[in-house]
Each structure stands twice: as C-alpha cells, then as structure tokens.
Amino acid sequence: MSGRHAKRVRERWDDALSRVGWDDFERRVGAFYEGQGYRVEYTGTGNGLAATDGGVDLKLFRGAEYIVVQCKHWNVLQVPHNPVHELIGVMHTQGANGAILVTSGEFTRAALESASRFPGITLVDGPTVRQMIGPIEEPVLAPASLVAREPSWMAAAGRHRPSPRQGRSRAAAMYAFALVATAASLALWAFIVNSIRKPLQTVSVPAVSAPPRDAAPGAPFRGYTTGAAASDMSPARMPRATRHDTTPQTPLDLKEWERKNAEAMKILEKTTPVMQSP
C-alpha cells in the first residue's frame, strides 16, 4: 500500500515498546508465545539470516497446532487490509491451522472487517500486545552511525562473529597490505632523494685562473681564463709584458737617453754617404 493511501494512526504510542527495534519487537512477541507453551521458530528477517520474511516472522508449534505469525512494528501508520489477505494466503500455503497478525499500532477498519470474515486469523493491536508483553525498560539508543545492521540480539549472541580461521586470514591480509604500503613508501622516498642529489653531483665548477702576478702596472686586463685554457695560461708560460714607452722619466734616464742618441748619430754619420751637390 502506497504512502499516499495509508492512514495515520488515531493515537500514536509514546512508550518504551514504541522505541524498540523491529527485531526486538519480534523477539518479545515470540517470548510471550514461548511462555504460553509454544515452540517458537523465528523465520522472519529478525533472525538475521533471511533477506525477506516471506510473510511469516514466527512459527508456533504446540501439539497439533501450527500457527504462523506476522509482526508489524508500525507506530505511525495503520495496518491496512492487504497484509490480512496475504497472511490468509500464507496460512493455507503453509498448511497451518491458524494465523496471527500483530502490530504495535492500529489496524484500519477494512483490515478488521477482512479478518472477521475468515476463521482462524487473529489480529492483535497495540493495546493488546502491550498487555501480552508487559512493561519493558527504555531501550538504550546508540547513535545512528554506530547502529549495526544486524539485529541487536544476534550481535549479543555472536552468531555473525568471524571464525578463528577467518580472523587469522584477515589479520594476515592486513599485515601483507601494511608491508606492501611500507615498501612502496620507502621506494618513493628513495626516488625523490636520488632525483634531488643527481643534479647536485653532475654540476662542476670551472677552474678560474687569476690574473698574472708579473703583469706590468697599467697593462690592460684581458679577463680570466677557465677550463682547459687555464692550464695553458699558467704564469710560467704567459708572455711577459713589454714596455714600449721610451720617454725619459728621470734626470738619469735623460742623460742616458742623450748618450745613446749621440752614439746613434755618430753611427748614422759614418754609415750614411755624403750627398754631393749638383
């Protein structure tokens, strides 16, 4: 039945039973029938094994009696007549001699009328089921992010706990994953370090030769020589600077210059022929 055609309850319950989970509700109903002498078989989704309940949550056995039970833990909407008809069909299919439809809320008028026309089916509404179960303690509600998908009573019973072999397999898988992750991290770190060190190792600083120490003062500086040329331009092999400026700088230099000039003139007069006038 679609939500737009569903009817809201006339009086909404606000008690501990209205706040228990649907699986807890099924267990409490089953516990009541166990107290009545029935052997109860939990076959609905509340047993944690069935994906769908197939219209039956509990099977009650006592002597020749075989009764199928469907639980509806509804507290906002009324249970319509459709589940009543479905349970009647299940009762005949199962070969049961009785059927019980239990809700924590209310039934619609059409549901009550449908049940009254079929013998062997019983409807249990909110007030009646509360009398059956009796007062209960307020449930401890966990945060929504921590609520397990499996029923709470099954988690307590430990039915879904992994076997020791499964636990060891999971531990081994997690250990192997940790080793692989560690090795990958170390390899990445080594790659980064080598990538940084390689350019530093390949950079060479060219040799620079200083200017010759015996260069004449005021001689133009020709620059530094680097690399292989520097070895060929060592001070021992570099040509010494030659002074071309012969201008006398001191009185002694002037006398020496005059002497050498007089000698040069005498040599010139001896070696130069006398030119005859015409």
Span 210-256, pLDDT tens digits: 555 555 555 555 554 444 444 455 555 555 544 555 565 677 777 78
Report the alpha-carbon distance of residue 248 to residue 126 in Å, rounded: 136
- What pairs with residue 99 in β-bridges? 68, 121
Please give the average per-residue pLDDT across 33-47, as a whole number: 87
pTM above 0.75, yes or no: no
Cα–chain center distance at 225: 59
Map out the domains of the chain with their CATH numbers.
17-134 (3.40.1350.10)
pLDDT top residue among 51 and 124 = 124
Phi, psi (deg, nearest 5) at residue 92: -70, -40
- Report CA dihedral (167, 170, 174, 180) to the nearest 10 degrees: 140
Please give the average per-residue pLDDT across 264-270, as a whole number: 69
Spatial CB neighbours of 227, under 8 Å, sequence gap ≥ 6: 206, 207
Phi, psi (deg, nearest 5) at residue 124: -120, 115
* DSSP calls for 207-223: PBPPPPTTPPTTPPP--
pLDDT top residue among 227 and 23 = 23
